[in-house]
Amino acid sequence: MKKRTAKLFSRLLVVIALATAAAACGSDTDSTSAGTDGTNGTGATAAGGATTSSASGSGSSEASAGSEAGGEAPAVEPGTSVAAIKDKGTITIGVKYDVPLFGLKNPTTGDIEGFDIEIGRLITEAIFGDDTKVEFVEAVSKNREPFIQDGKVDLVISTYTINDTRKEVVDFAGPYYVAGQDILVKADDDSIKGVEDLNGKKVCSVTGSTSLTNVQEKAPQADVSVVFDKYSLCVEALNDGRVQAVTTDNIILLGFVADSDGELKLVGNPFTTEPYGIGLKKGDTELRDFVNDVLDQSYADGTWKEAFDETVGVSGEEAPTPPPVDRY
Amino acid sequence: MNVIADNLDSYLGGIAVTLWLSALSFVLAVAIGGMVAAFRVSPLRLLRTLGAVYVEVFFSLPLLVWALLFFFGLPKVGLIYPPFTSAVIVLGTFTGALVGEALRSGINTVPPGQGEAARAVGLRFWQVLGLVVLPQALRTMIGPLGSILLALVRNSAVAAIAMSVDDLMWRSDQLATSTAQPVGVLTGTFVAYLILTVPGTWLVNTLARRYRFTR
């Protein structure tokens, strides 16, 4: 018995040794890449993972070219919080990784794609004159406010509905899109035609979103106890029959309909308006005005529509008239 | 920290679910652990191997992966358990491996002479284990089993994340959304888990000291 235990223990030691070695290798490569980053600017905080950014050389020459070309685009005034981001060398933006069409990390290429990402690139372009000087990090619904408050991100662009509760802790630029909350059901389910039909049904949405509160107001008998931290798990629960409906903004659900091979459908009867804003630190008026200027500019020169058509547009959705920016 | 005071009943409800979930899971874990330990000291090679495989699998599997696999995987083969039941099974099977190893190491602290003597007077395997070895082993197991139970209470938060069981963690997530003050809410959750585990640690230490063998 003792011998067996000893053998087990030594095997365990080998595993631990291997794991430590692997971990050491990992951090090695991290630090070297941080080193190369560091050559073209200030402390490239290699915040681990998700660095789809830049690093590819010659940043400083680019920046001056950008301000020359900035005849139309809003200029970065020295001494403002926007200039501080510019001095930092990259902008950090919190986005979703699991929302098709808006913010999705492509599992094969590792690229992050979607409308939110393109909006982020427009803002990056306006600040640096180079849309690669951006680092996208994942911000799930429930950690958006802390990320902004702690300065872990400069902006959050993640299907982030502007509302009064949130306005107490963060500020919003935009809106840059107005969605409406809708319901996703199985294709053969004809019992749900609107939000009232959710009474007595089980509905899933994600932790940290306002979707379930909205359902509770309009269908008080709906069972809204099922929440996960990713929409994909809600869709899985719908497929398994654990819930009868998944609810959130129509545009998010549309992506899942597209991926479902006809198994799922959208009810198509939106019951809220969800203005998507760009979250930033409360009281940072300079950054908010700048982002609003960039949005207005993109509405005028067609880059907003272009971004929409390339991302959300592939689902067949027509680009709407962009919503007026709310400079509250 | 008004968020905590304003939502005290939500916290208390969550604590109740967390305690109930942990208690049921621990009962299942002890049942499974007892079996695993018996298998691992059994004279039959097949049973020993089965026990070892069970332990190795659950020792190398992250709890979250097991929870997601169980909850979302089983329906694909037609088995759907409600969230709470799923959580009890997931936590119980996972913790069962830990309990099994704690029991086995406890059994190993009983000098082999005790078992040999018991066999010499004609006791069967289950009698040797149940009447002679386990009663002596249990005293040394209080500490390890207590730590496992406390770890289970903390691990139970996975049930909220993977299965949407409305325990303490789940309530905390809900509050974080409705108040948009996740940090304040999480501070309350942190304190609530401390209240659940710190007295437990103290109790386990006291009991372990009281029933300690002085060999």
Is residue A9, in this structure, part of any structural domain at all?
Answer: no
- The string over A187-208, giving b where at least 16 C-beta atoms fall within 10 Å of a residue's C-beta and e elsewhere, is eeeeebeebebbeebbbbbbbb
Query: Cβ A165–B164 below 8 Å, yes or no?
Result: no
Number of domains composing chain A: 2
Predicted confidence band of residue B35 (pLDDT cuts 50, 70, 90): very high
Is residue A17, in this structure, part of any structural domain at all?
Answer: no
Provide φ and ψ at A45, rounded to 5°.
-65, 95
CB-hemisphere CA count at 13 Å for B157? 15
Is residue A194, in this structure, part of any structural domain at all?
Answer: yes
Average pLDDT, chain B: 91
Q: Please determine, for residue B53, whether its predicted confidence score (pLDDT) is greater than 50.
A: yes
Residue B72 to residue B83: CA distance in whole angstroms? 11
Residue A273 to residue A242: CA distance in whole angstroms? 28
Is residue A206, in this structure, part of any structural domain at all?
Answer: yes
Q: Domains in chain B, please, with CATH?
A: 16-167 (1.10.3720.10)
Provide φ and ψ at A51, rounded to 5°.
-95, 80
**In the prediction, which pLDDT does A44 show?**
38
Write the CB contacts of A131 (distance below 8 Å, at least 6 apart in sequence). Answer: A121, A122, A124, A125
Query: Cβ A210–B177 below 8 Å, yes or no?
Result: yes
Where is the domain boundary, A209, A240, A266? A266
Residues of B in contact with A241 (CB under 8 A): 75, 80
Q: Which domain holds residue A160?
A: 60-178+275-315
Both tokens assigned to A77:
């005034």
Residues of B in contact with A229 (CB under 8 A): 161, 173
Mean pLDDT value across residues B14-26: 95
Q: For residue A240, give how far its alpha carbon lies from the nearest alpha carbon of chain B (Å).
A: 6
Where is the domain boundary, A231, A248, A266? A266
Report mean pLDDT in 10-residue bins for chain A, 328 residues: 52 53 44 36 38 40 39 76 92 92 89 94 94 93 90 94 92 93 93 92 86 88 88 92 92 85 89 93 94 94 93 82 89
Same domain? A90 vs A172: yes
Burial group, residue B142, by CB count within 10 angstroms (0-12, 13-18, 19+): buried
CA A255 to chain centre: 14
Is residue A19, in this structure, part of any structural domain at all?
Answer: no
Provide φ and ψ at A102, rounded to 5°.
-105, -55
Q: Please determine, for residue B181, whether its predicted confidence score (pLDDT) is greater than 90.
A: no
pLDDT tens profile B196-212: 999 989 999 898 888 87
Residue B209 to residue B203: CA distance in whole angstroms? 10
Same domain? A308 vs A193: no
Give bridge partners of residue A206 from the DSSP assignment: A228
Amino acid occupying residue B61: L
Same domain? A84 vs A169: yes
Same domain? A173 vs A281: yes
The torsion defined by the Cα of B59, B64, B66 and B69, in degrees rounded to 10, comes to -160
Is residue A37, in this structure, part of any structural domain at all?
Answer: no
Q: Which B positions 41-60 lie with beta carbon below 8 A of chain A?
A: 41
**In the prediction, which pLDDT does A32 show?**
36
Is residue A42, in this structure, part of any structural domain at all?
Answer: no
Q: Please determine, for residue B17, whether its predicted confidence score (pLDDT) is greater than 50.
A: yes
Query: Which of A207, A208, A241 is opposite residue B80, by nearest beta carbon?
Result: A241
Do residues A105 and A97 make contact, with C-beta atoms less than 8 angstroms apart? yes
Residues of B in contact with A145 (CB under 8 A): 180-182
Residue A48 to residue A162: CA distance in whole angstroms? 29
In angstroms and rounded to an integer, the radius of gyration of the C-alpha atoms of chain B is 20
Predicted confidence band of residue B165 (pLDDT cuts 50, 70, 90): very high
Is residue A72, in this structure, part of any structural domain at all?
Answer: yes
Amino acid occupying residue B150: L
Same domain? A168 vs A302: yes
Query: Which of A169, A209, A241 is opposite residue B181, by nearest beta carbon?
Result: A169
Query: Cβ A169–B108 below 8 Å, yes or no?
Result: no
**In the prediction, which pLDDT does A247 show?**
94
**In the prediction, which pLDDT does A308 show?**
93
Q: What is the CATH number of the domain that holds A253?
A: 3.40.190.10
Same domain? A125 vs A85: yes
| Chain A contact probe: residue of B40, B70, B72, B163 with most A CBs at under 10 A | B72
Residue A128 to residue B143: CA distance in whole angstroms? 60
B5 has a chain A CB within 8 A of its CB:
no
Q: Are strands A202-206 and A245-249 parallel, antiparallel or unpaired?
A: parallel
Please, which contacts does A233-237 make with residues 24 or more away whose CB atoms are closer than 8 Å?
A: A233/B72, A234/A204, A234/A205, A234/A206, A235/A184, A235/A260, A235/A264, A236/B72, A237/A204, A237/B72
Please give the DSSP secondary-structure letter assigned to residue B78: T
Where is the domain boundary, A249, A266, A283? A266
Same domain? A171 vs A77: yes
Same domain? A145 vs A282: yes
Same domain? A105 vs A223: no
Helix A115-128 crosses helix A81-88 at what angle (to 10 degrees)?
Answer: 90
Same domain? A217 vs A259: yes
Measured in residues, chain B has a length of 215
| Chain A contact probe: residue of B53, B158, B177 with most A CBs at under 10 A | B177
Q: Please determine, for residue B97, whether its predicted confidence score (pLDDT) is greater than 60.
A: yes
Same domain? A149 vs A72: yes
Residue B21 to residue B25: CA distance in whole angstroms? 6
Same domain? A82 vs A149: yes
